Amino acid sequence: MPKLKTIYDTPEEIPEGFVDLYAERGGKMELVGIEGVRTQGDVDRVQEALKKERTDHRVSKEQLLRFADINPDEVHEKLDQFDSMKAQLEAFTKDGKIDETKLEPVLQSRVKAALGPVERNAAQLARALEDQKKLTVDALKVGDDLKSTLKRGSVERAIRDEAVKLKLIPTAVDDAIMAGLDVLDVADDGAIVTKERPGVVPGIGAGDWLKDMQDKRPHWWPQSQGGGAGAGGRGGIPNRADNPWSKEGWNLTRQGQLVRENPAKAAEIAKSVGSSIGATHAAEPMK
């Protein structure tokens, strides 16, 4: 089976059955349907954003160099003083007397000069708070991405380990991982279990999920082991490792499935390992 690419030029290039996992971005079809997967398009967009940020930073730095010897606080103070002095001069008449009708601008300019530093400090604090909020949001996003990556790695390792135990063919492991990433998750206690998904038994481990997939994906197993209850044994009876009533393959979900499909055959399979339908525990190997 060919491996999927994260980016295709056209929808027609996407393998059949996987089109819903892709979306059009920038004229390309990018893989968006698997949580935690980053495409080359994502990398390119991040690099472009970083490049623009560096360019903007360089331009701002060059502009600020023109004011290297100027203290911004002193500039604001001088401007406030200038407004106050201008208002006072305008309040004087030509004969040197104060025009009381023009005292209001003088008072306003003095109030502005007094409040100016306070307002500037408040504005600086507000900007610092916004910057800190942005840093916090960015840090949380990085943490979420890391958590998602770690979960994905844990699920993938669990599927690989169980695939070896259940003897999946090597070429089917990647396919099993892709399918498992959509239905398996890491529980609060660290266990790898299935999520609520249509057609999936919730809360079972990776191994039991793979066993349930034997009928749905028989091509994942060698021909002597895959597919239904008759595989891997004599006369349609599965080997102990595949028999859901044996100690090695005990699986209540699989038992129920076999009973629903063919009660008589299910009873025969259970009897082959010394058990029976309705048993509450796995049968010990017969000596």
User: Among residues 245, 220, 251, 216, which one has the least CA distance to residue 233?
Assistant: 245
Please enumerate in sequence order all residues whose Cβ is within 8 A of that of 154, keeping only pairs 6 or more positions apart, or say none: 186, 192
Q: Are 114 and 70 contacting, i.e. CB atoms less than 8 angstroms apart?
A: no
- Residue linked to tokens 């997967």: 37
Instruction: State the Cα–Cα distance between residues 148 and 142, nearest whole angstrom.
Output: 10
| pLDDT for 224 | 53
The number of beta carbons lying within 10 Å of the beta carbon of residue 188 is 5
Determine what percent of the chain is predicted with pLDDT higher than 90.
10
Residues 17, 170, 221, 158, CA torsion sign: negative
- Are 108 and 87 in contact by the 8 Å Cβ rule? The answer is yes
Q: Of 239, 163, 145, 250, nearest to 206 (Cα)? A: 163
Over residues 204-254, the pLDDT tens digits come to: 999 999 988 888 888 898 865 444 444 444 456 777 778 888 888 888 888
Beta carbons of 172 and 219 less than 8 angstroms apart: yes
Average pLDDT rounded to a whole number, residues 154-179: 91
| Tokens representing residue 50 in the block | 């970083």
Model pLDDT for residues 36-65, shown as the tens digit of each residue: 666 667 777 777 888 888 888 787 777 767
From CA 190, how far away is CA 43, in angstroms rounded? 30
Smallest CA-to-CA distance from 39 within 62, 5, 89 is with 5
114 or 207, greater pLDDT: 207
Tokens 């990776």, located at residue = 206
Which percentage of the chain shows pLDDT scores above 70?
A: 74
Q: pLDDT-based confidence at 95, cuts 50/70/90? A: low
Q: Please give the structure tokens belonging to residue 175.
A: 């396919």
The tokens for 17 are 């059955």
185 vs 73: which has the higher pLDDT: 185
Helix, coil or strand: residue 22: strand
pLDDT of residue 161: 94
